[in-house]
Structure 1
């Protein structure tokens, strides 16, 4: 074989090896990014579930019945009886 031919074969061989390594790297990177995407989607789903749970909990804590219950039990409040009510009339100046 001539020197030119050996150089061409060597160049083609190096190109094939380089291309093969690029394919291996590309495949590996693609799999790693896919795994990262799946993990991010899983985290997103967990956060959505947590947000919905917190919204429901906030609604329950702010419900009128819950506020009335806390007022009665913890603050010892009650609806005033008619004899406890005082009406104040507005006077015109």
Structure 2
């Protein structure tokens, strides 16, 4: 009888370990899926930010072009290139 009780204990213990292992696999698989979804979302956000950065760089380039600056200076600020008679020479002491 002692042998049967000992065998049952081993079977129950092994069965319990298999169940714990199975639950660990389920938990790990779930965490992996959650983290993969978060990674994909972060990569989409990164791509959107890259696109926005490129668009802003192009826009900055257009706004800072010399022709654009000259146009704004002439039209909105009524500026013009100084004539030779309007130039003043500043000397250093």
| TM-score normalised according to structure 2 size | 0.83
- Give every structure 1 segment of 4 or more consecutive aligned residues whose post-TM-superposition deviation is greater than 4 Å: none
Structure 2 unaligned blocks of 5 or more:
none
1:65 match = 67
Q: Secondary structure at the match of 1:76?
A: coil
Task: Quote how far apart the aligned CAs of 1:65 are.
Answer: 1.0
Q: Residues 88 and 75 from structure 1, CA distance in 2 versus in 1: closer, same or farther, beyond 3 angstroms? A: closer
Query: Deviation digits for residues 57-86 of structure 1, max 9, x if unmatched?
Result: 111111011101110122111345xxx531
| TM-score normalised according to structure 1 size | 0.83
Alpha-carbon separation, structure 1, partners of 2:58 and 2:80: 27
Structure 1 unaligned blocks of 5 or more:
none
Count of equivalent residues: 88
2:54 match = 52
